[in-house]
Structure formats: structure tokens, C-alpha cells
Amino acid sequence: MSVQELKHSAAELTPDERFDLAVFLQHLAQKDDPEHQRALDQSDARISAGKKVSLEELRKMVSVMDEKGV
């Protein structure tokens, strides 16, 4: 399948399907990038070390950001 055919097919997708495709293409673009893997490893280490927020804390953060228009 050519790039042109892929673009034509993508144009016929629903918005949700295009979103899924975009996420998949982003994954493909990053999966072999050592810097991206390093960032994921650092995030995983922080989470494993307990540096995370609860769902309620996240909701509060989002609320504050919404109030500030961020």
C-alpha cells in the first residue's frame, strides 16, 4: 500500500479512529528512540519510588488548571 493510499484511507476514518491511528504512529516514531526510552525509564523509577498522585489529587490539579485557563 502506498503512502497516498494510506492517506486516502486515513481521511475516511472516524475522528476516534484517526486519533487511534495518530497514537499508533507516534508510538512507532518513538519506540526505538533511546532518549524516549530513557524518559520512560525515569518516569517508571519515580513511580516505583512512590512519586505519584492519587486520582483525587489529580482531579484537584486539573480543577486548579481549569480555573486558571491552562
Q: State how far the Cα of 28 lies from the Cα of 56, in Å rounded to an integer.
A: 33
With 0.85 as the threshold, say if the pTM is over it.
Answer: no
Sketch the domain layout of the chain as residue ranges. 3-68
Q: State how far the Cα of 30 lies from the Cα of 39, in Å rounded to an integer.
A: 11
CB-based contact 21:10 (threshold 8 Å): yes
Query: Each residue of 38-64: pLDDT tens digit?
Result: 999 999 999 999 999 999 999 999 999
- Phi, psi (rounded to 5 degrees) for 43: -65, -45
- pLDDT classification of 7: cutoffs 50, 70, 90: very high
